[in-house]
């Protein structure tokens, strides 16, 4: 419960929101379930894409969404991209614009 006191603060230049767990059905959304409901004030999006997609490709693909940060998740052991990245924005409308690109491709790879 101590973690909930950090809600609304910044950690590593990212705004965080901490809340207690809420039960949501079976918890089995699957990889291709599509975007879930956006929390109020959300300034980040999670992108799942092919492991061959570069950081530069993500910046270029989302450049019309005014992305301010791209953090790719890397495998701890191999250092290779895991196929998931966090995108940061200054405006919630740009988050919506980025989410609208769900299902498009980056250099022929699904994203």
At 39, phi and psi to the nearest 5? -65, 150
Distance between CA 61 and CA 67 in Å, rounded? 10
Average pLDDT rounded to a whole number, residues 5-33? 69
Q: How many residues does the chain have?
A: 111
Share of the chain above pLDDT 90, in %: 47
- The predicted pLDDT at position 25 comes to 61
Average pLDDT rounded to a whole number, residues 19-38? 62
Q: Is the pLDDT at 37 greater than 90, yes or no?
A: no
Query: Which position has the higher pLDDT, 106 or 73?
Result: 73
Read off the pLDDT band of 55 (50, 70, 90).
very high
**Total Cβ atoms within 10 A of residue 90:** 11
Q: Is the pLDDT at 17 greater than 90, yes or no?
A: no
Read off the pLDDT band of 33 (50, 70, 90).
low
């Amino acid at each position: 419960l101590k973690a909930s006191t950090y809600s609304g603060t910044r950690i590593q230049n990212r705004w965080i929101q901490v809340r207690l767990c809420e039960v949501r059905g079976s918890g089995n959304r699957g990889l291709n379930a599509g975007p879930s409901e956006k929390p109020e004030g959300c300034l980040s999006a999670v992108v799942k894409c092919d492991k061959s997609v570069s950081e530069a490709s993500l910046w270029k693909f989302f450049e019309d969404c005014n992305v301010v940060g791209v953090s790719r998740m890397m495998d701890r052991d191999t250092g290779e991209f895991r196929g998931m990245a966090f995108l940061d924005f200054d405006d919630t409308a740009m988050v919506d614009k980025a989410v609208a690109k769900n299902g498009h491709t980056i250099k022929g790879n699904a994203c």
